[in-house]
Amino acid sequence: MLKFSENLGDGRFFRKEEAIEIVVQRVRNCKACPLHETRINPVPGEGSLDTPIIFVGEGPGEEEDRTGRPFVGKAGQMLNKLLKEVGLSRDKVYITNVVKCRPPGNRVPTNQEMAACSHFLMAQIQIINPKVIVALGSTALSFFLEKKVSITRMRGKLIDWLGGKVIFPTFHPSYLLRNRSTGPGSPYELALQDMKKVKELYDEYRKV
């Protein structure tokens, strides 16, 4: 995996850390859509830049808006729990969202908001260059596949995407919080199966 430098396409080479910092600063200054008017803090993303796995959620919630960090509220605790169960941790992956500012009342971001923000996510993917993009929930999955898709039908499948990368859809952690059963075939059990697959993919690709 490319570790130290990234050609940003204009002849200059940046270390990944520098390139991501530019994206972070631009997210912080962004006023491209109405979400900037109601945000407290933008939430660019965080984690390892040398990871083969990036997690992409929908958009920041209340706690994320307050702290400027992704998945730190109740959904984040559920994500942490799943990661821990399979022997992964947040610092081994990168975590971000389709939109970087909280939609008021945690509504689903509009197509216009997602379009205005998408270049940040694309830049993050280009810089980090992960092999696997874990789409958390139907908003993230539909963003990547550019059509409305059912997460229930697609979860757990590897879907070829651009540049030799794969999309791996799974349930959004908030969905698991709303559907608390944990027995065989339950959303939690299926999400755990998916996370075990994520760990296998991590082990397979971190060596490359």
109 binds ligand URA (CB under 6 A): no
64 binds ligand URA (CB under 6 A): yes
Report whether 3 contacts 17 (CB < 8 A).
no
70 binds ligand URA (CB under 6 A): yes
Using CB under 6 A, which of 35, 65, 94, 97 touches ligand URA? 97
| Residue with the shortest CB distance to ligand URA | 57
Q: What kind and span of H or E run contains 56?
A: strand 53-57
Q: CB-wise, 109 or 130, nearer to ligand URA? A: 109
Category of 113 on φ-ψ map: left (φ > 0), alpha (ψ -120 to 50) or beta: alpha
Using CB under 6 A, which of 57, 103, 109, 130 touches ligand URA? 57
Q: Following DSSP, what letter does each residue of 119-162 receive, concatenated? A: HHHHHHHHHH--SEEEEESHHHHHHHHTS---HHHHTT--EE-G
Site for ligand URA in 165-204 (CB under 6 A): 174
Q: Determine the 3-state secondary structure of 111 from DSSP.
A: helix
Q: What kind and span of H or E run contains 170?
A: strand 166-170
Q: What kind and span of H or E run contains 193?
A: helix 187-205
Using CB under 6 A, which of 42, 47, 52, 61 touches ligand URA? 61
Q: How far is the CB of 147 from ligand URA (least distance, A)?
A: 20
Q: Please work out the total of residues on this chain that contact ligand URA, with binding judged by CB under 6 A.
A: 13
Residues that bind ligand URA (CB under 6 A): 57-61, 64, 70-71, 73, 75-76, 97, 174
